[in-house]
Amino acid sequence: MTTRRLVLTRSAAIVGAASTGLLLPQIVRAQSGKVRVGFMLPYTGTYAQLGVAIENGVRMAIDEKGGKLGGREIEWFKVDDESEPSKGVENANKLVQRDKVDVIIGTVHSGVQMGIQKVARDSGVLSLIPNAGVLAATGALCAPNVFRTSFTNSQPTLALGKAMVDRGHKKAVWITWNYSAGAEAFAGFKESYTKAGGTIVKELAVPFPSVEFQALLTEIASIKPDAVACFFAGGGAAKFIRDYAAAGLKGKIPLYGSGFLTEGVLDAAGPAADGIVTTMHYSDSLDTPRNKQFRTAYASQFKMQPDVYAVQGYDTGLLLTMGAAAVKGDLNNKKALYAAMEGATIDSPRGKWKMSKSHNPIQDMYLRVVENKENKVIGVAAKALADSGAGCKMG
Ligand code: PHB
């Protein structure tokens, strides 16, 4: 049996004070025995299937590299964050303080991520974000120990506005869930759509995770915009797509979205999803050997089709194996670990990508349309798009 110790050093405390402005000791784990990896993901609620896809992807990438991190075996820990922001700090501390993880992988929901971000900044624990797009995590609250392998919330929608105007839709209604991810997705849409000459005639929202869309769909029908653009994801996205068709809007008012709208939901949404156009940093149909090999392997291992969340999890696993290999498993060698992760080229199913200065992927955005339960690429809506990293000082 391995015993693990929590070592708090004076110099680590000083590092912590410098990076967060708080006099909290940073955590330095003893580097013997297994690497402790904690998943903090939604395993219940509207984002439950996203959490599962992310975990699958992480495990698959690490298994493909031999199932170890820098030569060390792994002990896994899991917390269901329920996409509940009010429990974010408490849940992150279950992994960091109770389970003493070396790395925390999470999460999906931007509000919950803010809790993880606080714990990551206070403790100095390595934090890998496999989805949540909240701008602050790689913006004003960025940190040397926090890396995102997914996107910022405005990245997909910054590519959406012009694509819609190019397709002839000059007046749009925007609809979303009323929380930070929806608001930040809207900011990207507003910037790109108005710059391209479009007008947003109405902004609509329901509270997260409500799926009571009926009243707002009736309102959209009466406004008669040229198109609708939205941010929804997971179970709620499938319901929105079905309700949109059931309200008689499909085929009359084209539906667009940040690409999460059509990720992991195409079986549940059925034909109601056909023709929806979205922008996203991945597409099922990317015609590369890398993507094909990934899709075949994932489908045979998990008996389901991968989606963007599986890809983001997979890339998180790749990043972690590369970082750990560079320091031969000594995750306390933080300077070398972060440098390796900052310099890494991730050979992703989405295409190769690298980190921006603020630790967020620089990546292409594809324009996609749903056809026969698949997101098909119909163009590249933005090349090598970086997040602004606004306010990020690594300190
Ligand atoms: C988020 O809350 O940041 C979020 C959640 C689900 C998505 C995308 C972003 O699909």
Query: What integer pLDDT is reported at residue 30 of this predicted model?
Result: 62
* Cα of 239 from ligand 1 centre, angstroms: 16
How is the chain split into domains, by residue range? 2-151+288-355, 155-280+365-385
Residue 157 has pLDDT above 90, yes or no: yes
- The atom number, within ligand 1, closest to the CA of 134 reads 3
Q: Residue 199 and residue 321: Cα distance in Å, rounded?
A: 46
> By the 8 A CB rule, do 145 and 120 touch?
yes
Kindly report the pTM of this predicted structure: 0.93
**Ligand 1 binding residues, C-beta < 6 A:** 108-110, 131-134, 153, 181, 233, 260
* Cα of 309 from ligand 1 centre, angstroms: 10
* Cα of 109 from ligand 1 centre, angstroms: 5
* Cα of 144 from ligand 1 centre, angstroms: 23
Average pLDDT of the residues in 208-232: 98
Q: Which helix (H) or strand (E) holds 309?
A: helix 308-326
Separation in Å, CA 30 to CA 3, 16, 36, 97, 330: 9, 18, 11, 14, 9
Residue 349 has pLDDT above 90, yes or no: yes
- The atom number, within ligand 1, closest to the CA of 111 reads 2
- The atom number, within ligand 1, closest to the CA of 308 reads 10
* Cα of 154 from ligand 1 centre, angstroms: 11
Average pLDDT of the residues in 293-314: 98
Confidence of residue 19 (pLDDT cuts 50, 70, 90): very low
Q: Which helix (H) or strand (E) holds 236?
A: helix 234-246
Sequence-distant (6+) residues with CB within 8 A of 292 are none
Q: Which tops the pLDDT comparison, 336 or 388?
A: 336
**What superfamily would CATH give domain 155-280+365-385?**
Response regulator (3.40.50.2300)
Query: What integer pLDDT is reported at residue 12 of this predicted model?
Result: 38
Q: Residue 84 and residue 98: Cα distance in Å, rounded?
A: 20
Q: Residue 24 and residue 17: Cα distance in Å, rounded?
A: 6
Average pLDDT of the residues in 34-50: 98
User: Residues 158-214: pLDDT tens digits?
Assistant: 999 999 999 999 999 999 999 999 999 999 999 999 999 999 999 999 999 999 999
* Cα of 124 from ligand 1 centre, angstroms: 24
Q: What percent of the chain has pLDDT over 70?
A: 92
Beta bridge partners of 227: 172
- The atom number, within ligand 1, closest to the CA of 179 reads 2
Choose which residue among 260, 265, 360, 387 to substitute to test ligand 1 binding: the one with the highest number of ligand atoms within 8 A of its C-beta. 260
Closest CA to 155 of 130, 192, 180: 192
- The atom number, within ligand 1, closest to the CA of 263 reads 10
Burial class (CB in 10 A: 0-12, 13-18, 19+), 249: middle
Average pLDDT of the residues in 304-324: 98
Beta bridge partners of 347: 352
* Cα of 155 from ligand 1 centre, angstroms: 12
Choose which residue among 47, 131, 135, 261 to substitute to test ligand 1 binding: the one with the highest number of ligand atoms within 8 A of its C-beta. 131
What is the DSSP track for 129-162?
Answer: ESS---GGGGTTT--TTEEESS--THHHHHTHHH
* Cα of 234 from ligand 1 centre, angstroms: 9
Q: Residue 382 and residue 369: Cα distance in Å, rounded?
A: 16
Interstrand relation of 28-29 and 146-148 (parallel, antiparallel or unpaired): unpaired
Choose which residue among 46, 47, 148, 265 to substitute to test ligand 1 binding: the one with the highest number of ligand atoms within 8 A of its C-beta. 47
> What is the residue-averaged pLDDT of the chain?
93
* Cα of 108 from ligand 1 centre, angstroms: 6
- The atom number, within ligand 1, closest to the CA of 112 reads 2
Confidence of residue 11 (pLDDT cuts 50, 70, 90): very low
* Cα of 260 from ligand 1 centre, angstroms: 8
Q: Does domain 2-151+288-355 have CATH number 3.40.1190.20?
A: no
| Domain 2-151+288-355 identical in fold to domain 155-280+365-385 | yes
| Closest residue by CA, ligand 1 atom 5 | 109
